[in-house]
Chain A
């Protein structure tokens, strides 16, 4: 079975500061990894995904994440945040299977202070 742990439920940062949202996963098989963003009263939008290859993945809105197999981590980073980045961020995993469900973490609320 797979599981995802998002280590911080809330992360407050000042505008234009860097941010890191932490994610650790557990799985006995190889997995794909994702970060999704959810703005208030909206569905989920894919920020980025790691399937294979380079461990540094670049996504939309200036976000990037690094897959670390030895530490089973997939932390999300942005060098300079904006007010518009205020949202809930979810880390997620799925197995290599067309029938596989996505397992989500509990989410991290990113709040940006001016």
Chain B
């Protein structure tokens, strides 16, 4: 079975621009979560999608938005990028049958300059 795949692996954007990060969930997983990991910190929950609906959100502004597609892949969109948005963005997938065994991707390293 394939794991969680994220693209791109690295990205450099200018302050004020918009960015889209992509995630393919593990086969059989219908839940996708996104996390932001700033340098030297633990991952912080952004939001979660279950069967194409957002069903949980962390303390992030509305300029962070997402989508989940019928094949359970997902996108994270960030508008009006700020320097503090520079971080590793991690996607994790799971399912009810996975016993909370969240599978994480390798992440997208976003640098905002």
Contacts and interface: CB of A to CB of B under 8 A. Distances in A.
B56 A100 contact: yes
Interface in A57-114: 90, 94, 98-107
- Counting chain A CB atoms within 10 Å of each CB, the highest count among B92, B96, B101, B104 belongs to B104
Given A44-B90, A106-B42, A98 B102 contact: no
B1 interface: no
A51 B100 contact: yes
B105 to A, nearest CB: 5
Given A49-B100, A51-B100, A43 B90 contact: yes
Interface residues of B, number: 28
Contacts of A105: 42
A98 B104 contact: no
A90 B43 contact: yes
B17 interface: no
A42 interface: yes
Interface size range on A against B? 20 to 34
Contacts of A30: none
Given A32-B100, A43-B90, A94-B100, A102 B45 contact: yes
Interface string B35-47: 1000011111100
Contact of A98 (B6, B90, B96, B106): B96
5 contacts: A43-B6, A46-B101, A46-B104, A94-B100, A101-B45
B5 to A, nearest CB: 11
- Counting chain B CB atoms within 10 Å of each CB, the highest count among A42, A43, A45, A98 belongs to A43
B48 interface: yes
A51 B99 contact: yes
